[in-house]
C-alpha cells in the first residue's frame, strides 16, 4: 500500500513542512530523538516532493528532497566514495515502474537482482588496513561523516581483525537487536538515565556517546564492500554484489546470511516481489527491526551503467514496508485481573493506525516495567505492532514531554476483589489467586482443550459459583444430582448430562488436568511436556527446581516458580485425586534418577513401537480441513505427539514438517525461507490416519 503524501496547500505550508522535515531528520540521524515517527516523516517528505514537482521555481535550498539523510547532518571525515541514501517505493506498482526505469538506463532488462532486508539502524563505514580495523565513520551528509572509532569494541559482528590482511572499507548498518535494546534500557535506567524510545534511537545515541559511564552492545550487518587499494580494485571491482557479500562473510564480517532473512538473488521482478512478501511475513519474528527490503542490480556492469544521482544510486531501491512503530499519547492505564489472579496493566492510547489496524490499547507488561521505563500519564509513547503481535508500549518519547505528565498510580489493593496484592514478583498477583476470578478460572478449566466438560459454559459456572456450590475446581467433582437440579433451568436430562460430562472429565490425561490447574508459566504445550516427562502427578510434585529444568523449555527463572505454585496447589490437587481425577499420563514413563529430559522424552507418550512422526518436530498453522477440520490447535498438537512427533509453535531450522492450512502466513513463509518441508492438511491426515480421534476414555494414546 502506497504511503499517502501529506497535503501541502501553499508556499507558507511548504516552508513549514521543509523546516519540520529537516529538524526531524537532524534529530533522527543525530541520536534518534525525532518528533516524527518514520511513517509521519515519509508522508511529510512525499508531500514536499509533490509540492516541488508542481512548483519547481519555488524549491527552497534547504529542502530534504534530493539530499542524503534529508540534508540535515554533517561530518568532518571525507568518504572514499559517496555514501548515499536510497530512494523508496511503497507498492508493487511503484517497484515495477522503477524496474522499467532501470531497464531504460542500462539499455536492457535487468535479469539479476540482489534482495536483502533493509535494516533499521545507522549506516557506517569501517575502514580496514591490512586486515585491521582502524576507523569507523557515520554516513553524515554522504560526502563526509563523523568519526565514531571510540565505539570499536562495542559492536558485535565487526571484527577488529579480518581473516585476510586486506585493505578494504566495509559498509553496513549498526543496530540494536530487540534483546540488546532491552538490555540497554536496563543499563541506562540503572545509571539514572531516561529510557531510549526505540532500538534505532538507542543505537544512534550509543554509537556517538563518548563520555558515558557505561557501554552497551550493538550489532553490525554488512551491506557493501569497497576496495581501498589498486590491487583490491582489480580483484573486487567486477564482482556481483552477492559475491561481495560472500567475500565479506569469508573475511569474518557479519552479514544477513545467518539470519532468517538472508540476502538472496532473484532473476525477475516477479521473484523479487515474492521475496519481498516472504521477508514481510517473517518480519514479526525477527530478532531485529527492519523497515523494508533493499533491491539492487546485482551485476557490477548494470550498476555502472545505471549510475547514481546526488542523493541515491539509480541501481538500488528500498521497498518500504508499513510502519510498525508510531508515536501516540498514553491517556490512562487500566489494571485487569486474569484468571490466575495476575494483575496486568494495560495502556489506553489515543487511537493510532499501525500497519492497517487502529490501536487503542497496548501491553504494559508489569508494574516493574512501568517503573523501569519511567512511563507517565500524558506521555507521548512509541507503540510497536508487527503482524498479529499484541501491540506494546516501547518507551516514552522523553524529549516531547511538556512537564504536565503525571505519575502512573499503582493499585494498593486488588482492583477486582479488594484483597491484598502479592508484589514479591515482577508480575503482581491478587492474594486470592484463582479465587479472585473464580468464574474465569473454572470456565478455562472446563474448556475444550483442558477438561472438555460439555455443558459447563460461562453461564452455568456463574450459577454454580453464585449458589455457593463451587468454590474451587475440586468442588465440581463432588456435585450431587440434587444440588444441580436446584439450579434455575436445570431439568433432569440436562442435570444428568452435565454430571456425566464431569464424570468423563475425571479420565482426561494428566497433561489436560495440569493445564486446567492454570499453573503460571505453563500453557497447553508446556503442560504436555511436563506430564510426558514425569508421567505422574506424584513425580511432578516431588520435582525440585533442578528436576523441573530438565523439561524442554523450562529455564532457570521459570522452574522455581512452577515448583512453588505446585506446592501452593497441593491441597487442591489432593482433593482432585481423592475425587477420582486421573493423575497419570497414558503412554509416558517417569524419568529414572539422573536421566535427562532429552533421554527420557524422546519416546514419552509416543505411539507404541514408534509412529509415523517419530523423531520429527511438527508445526501446525492455518485452518485445517477434511479429517482435521474439527480439531482445535491443542488437539492437533496432541495428535502430533500421539503419532510420535514433537509439536512446536515456532518454525526454525530444527523444524521437520509444517502442516500449512488455509490462511497460513508468516510460518509458511518462514518454512519456505528455511527449506522446511511443507504439507497440506489432507496429506497430513493421511499420514497420521491411524492416530486421528481420541481413545474411548478420552486420554491421549
Q: Is 42 annotated as a binding-site member?
A: yes
Catalytic residue among 118, 326, 667, 670: 118
Burial class of 108 by CB neighbour count within 10 A (0 to 12, 13 to 18, 19+): exposed
Residue 175, exposed/middle/buried by CB under 10 A (0-12, 13-18, 19+)?
Answer: buried
246 assigned ligand-binding residue: no
Query: Which residues face 337 on adjacent strands?
Result: 343
Tell me if 638 is assigned to a ligand binding site.
Answer: no
**CA–CA distance, 113 with 474 (Å, rounded to integer):** 64
349 is in an annotated binding site: no
**Helix/strand/coil (H/E/C) assignment for every residue in 69-120:** HHHCCCCCEECCCCCCCCCEECCHHHHHHHHHHHHHHHCCCCCCEEEEEEEC
Tell me the three state secondary structure of residue 291: strand
Residue 421 gets which letter from DSSP?
E
Distance CA 308, CA 292 (A): 21
Pair 497, 490: CB distance under 8 Å = no
Q: Is 222 annotated as a binding residue?
A: no
Catalytic residue status for 653: no
The CA-based dihedral angle spanning residues 271, 275, 280, 281, taken in that order and rounded to the nearest 10 degrees: 100
Q: Which long-range contacts (CB under 8 A, 24 or more apart) does 98-107 make?
A: 98/317, 99/269, 101/314, 102/297, 102/302, 102/306, 102/314, 102/315, 105/305, 105/306, 105/307, 105/314, 106/297, 106/302, 106/305, 106/306, 106/315, 107/305
CA nearest 681: which of 700, 698, 663?
A: 663
> Is 414 flagged in the annotation as binding?
yes
355 is in an annotated binding site: no
Residue 427 in marked binding region:
no
Per this entry, what is the length of the chain?
701
Query: Is 320 labelled as part of a ligand binding site?
Result: yes
Instruction: Give the cell for residue 77.
Output: 571525515
H or E segment at 245? Answer: helix 241-251
Name every residue whose Cβ is closer than 8 Å to that of residue 157 and which is 6 or more positions away in sequence: 219, 220, 221, 222, 253, 254
Say whether 306 counts as a known binding-site residue: no
39 among annotated binding-site residues: yes
Q: Is 85 annotated as a binding residue?
A: yes
Which phi-psi region, left, alpha or beta, contains residue 115 (left: φ > 0; alpha: ψ -120 to 50)? beta
Distance CA 701, CA 691 (A): 8
Q: Checking DSSP bridges between strand 155-156 and strand 218-227, what pairing results, if any? A: parallel
Does 40 appear as a known binding residue? Answer: yes
Binding residues: 38-42, 85-86, 116, 139, 173, 296, 320, 414, 417, 436
Active site positions, annotated: 118
Binding residues for NAD(+): 38-42, 85-86, 116, 139, 173, 296, 320
Binding residues for Zn(2+): 414, 417, 436
Amino acid at each position: 500500500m502506497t504511503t499517502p503524501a501529506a497535503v501541502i496547500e501553499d508556499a507558507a505550508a511548504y516552508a513549514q513542512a521543509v523546516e519540520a522535515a529537516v529538524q526531524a531528520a537532524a534529530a533522527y540521524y543525530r541520536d534518534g530523538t525525532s518528533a516524527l515517527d518514520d511513517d509521519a516523516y515519509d508522508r511529510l517528505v512525499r508531500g514536499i516532493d509533490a509540492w516541488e514537482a508542481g512548483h519547481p521555481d519555488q524549491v527552497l535550498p534547504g529542502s530534504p528532497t534530493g539530499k542524503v539523510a534529508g540534508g540535515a547532518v554533517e561530518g568532518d571525515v571525507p568518504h572514499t566514495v559517496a555514501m548515499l541514501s536510497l530512494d523508496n517505493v511503497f507498492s508493487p506498482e511503484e517497484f515495477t515502474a522503477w524496474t522499467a526505469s532501470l531497464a531504460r538506463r542500462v539499455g536492457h532488462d535487468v535479469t539479476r537482482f540482489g534482495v536483502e532486508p533493509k535494516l533499521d539502524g545507522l549506516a557506517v563505514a569501517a575502514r580496514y588496513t591490512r586486515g585491521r580495523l582502524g576507523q569507523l565513520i557515520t554516513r553524515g551528509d554522504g560526502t563526509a561523516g563523523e568519526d565514531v572509532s571510540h565505539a570499536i569494541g562495542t559492536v558485535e559482528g565487526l571484527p577488529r581483525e579480518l581473516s585476510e590482511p586486506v585493505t578494504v572499507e566495509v559498509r553496513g548498518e549498526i543496530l540494536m537487536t530487540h534483546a540488546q535494546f532491552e538490555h540497554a534500557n536496563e543499563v541506562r535506567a540503572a545509571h539514572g538515565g531516561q529510557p531510549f524510545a526505540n532500538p534505532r534511537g538507542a543505537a544512534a545515541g550509543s554509537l556517538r556517546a563518548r563520555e558515558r559511564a557505561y557501554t552497551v552492545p550493538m550489532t553490525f550487518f554488512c551491506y557493501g564492500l569497497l576496495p581501498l587499494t589498486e590491487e583490491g580494485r582489480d580483484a573486487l571491482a567486477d564482482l556481483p554484489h552477492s559475491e561481495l557479500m560472500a567475500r565479506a562473510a569469508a573475511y569474518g564480517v557479519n552479514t544477513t546470511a545467518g539470519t532468517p532473512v538472508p540476502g538472496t538473488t532473484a532473476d525477475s521482478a516477479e521473484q523479487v516481489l515474492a521475496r519481498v512478501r516472504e521477508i514481510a511475513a517473517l518480519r514479526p519474528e525477527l530478532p531485529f527491526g527492519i523497515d523494508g527490503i533493499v533491491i539492487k542490480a546485482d551485476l557490477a556492469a548494470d550498476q555502472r551503467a545505471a549510475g547514481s544521482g546526488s542523493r541515491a544510486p539509480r541501481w538500488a531501491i528500498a521497498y518500504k514496508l508499513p510502519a510498525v512503530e508510531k508515536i501516540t499519547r498514553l491517556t490512562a492505564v487500566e489494571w485487569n485481573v486474569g484468571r490466575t489472579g495476575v494483575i496486568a496493566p494495560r495502556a489506553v492510547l489515543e487511537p493510532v493506525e499501525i500497519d492497517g489496524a487502529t490501536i487503542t490499547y497496548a501491553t504494559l507488561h508489569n508494574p516493574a516495567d512501568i517503573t523501569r521505563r519511567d512511563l507517565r500519564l500524558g506521555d507521548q509513547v512509541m507503540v510497536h505492532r508487527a503482524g498479529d503481535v499484541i501491540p506494546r508500549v516501547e518507551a516514552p518519547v522523553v524529549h516531547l514531554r511538556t512537564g504536565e505528565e503525571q505519575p502512573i498510580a499503582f493499585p494498593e489493593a486488588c482492583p477486582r476483589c479488594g484483597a491484598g496484592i502479592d508484589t514479591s514478583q515482577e508480575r503482581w498477583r491478587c492474594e486470592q489467586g484463582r479465587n479472585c476470578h473464580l468464574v474465569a478460572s473454572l470456565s478455562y478449566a472446563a474448556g475444550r482443550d483442558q477438561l472438555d466438560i460439555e455443558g459447563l459454559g460461562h453461564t452455568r459456572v456463574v450459577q454454580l459459583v453464585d449458589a455457593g456450590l463451587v468454590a474451587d475446581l475440586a468442588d465440581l467433582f463432588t456435585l450431587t444430582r440434587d444440588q444441580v437440579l436446584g439450579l434455575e433451568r436445570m431439568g433432569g436430562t440436562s442435570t444428568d448430562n452435565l454430571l456425566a460430562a464431569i464424570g468423563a472429565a475425571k479420565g482426561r490425561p494428566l497433561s489436560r488436568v495440569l493445564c486446567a490447574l492454570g499453573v503460571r508459566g505453563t500453557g497447553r504445550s508446556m503442560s504436555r511436556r511436563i506430564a510426558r516427562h514425569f508421567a505422574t502427578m506424584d513425580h511432578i510434585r516431588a520435582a525440585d527446581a533442578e528436576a523441573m529444568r530438565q523439561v524442554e523449555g523450562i529455564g532457570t527463572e521459570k522452574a522455581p516458580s512452577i515448583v512453588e505454585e505446585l506446592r501452593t496447589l497441593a491441597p487442591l490437587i489432593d482433593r482432585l485425586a481423592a475425587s477420582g481425577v486421573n493423575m497419570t499420563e497414558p503412554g509416558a514413563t517417569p524419568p529414572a534418577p539422573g536421566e535427562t529430559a532429552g533421554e527420557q522424552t524422546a519416546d514419552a507418550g509416543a505411539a507404541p513401537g514408534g509412529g509415523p512422526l517419530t523423531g520429527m518436530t511438527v508445526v501446525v498453522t492455518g485452518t485445517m480441513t477434511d479429517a482435521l477440520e474439527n480439531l482445535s490447535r491443542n488437539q492437533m498438537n496432541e495428535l502430533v505427539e500421539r503419532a510420535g512427533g514433537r509439536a512446536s509453535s515456532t518454525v526454525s531450522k530444527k523444524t521437520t514438517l509444517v502442516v500449512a492450512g488455509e490462511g497460513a502466513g508468516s510460518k509458511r513463509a518462514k518454512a519456505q525461507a528455511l527449506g522446511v518441508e511443507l504439507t497440506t492438511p489432507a496429506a497430513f491426515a493421511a499420514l497420521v490416519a491411524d492416530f486421528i480421534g481420541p481413545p474411548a476414555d478420552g486420554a491421549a494414546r
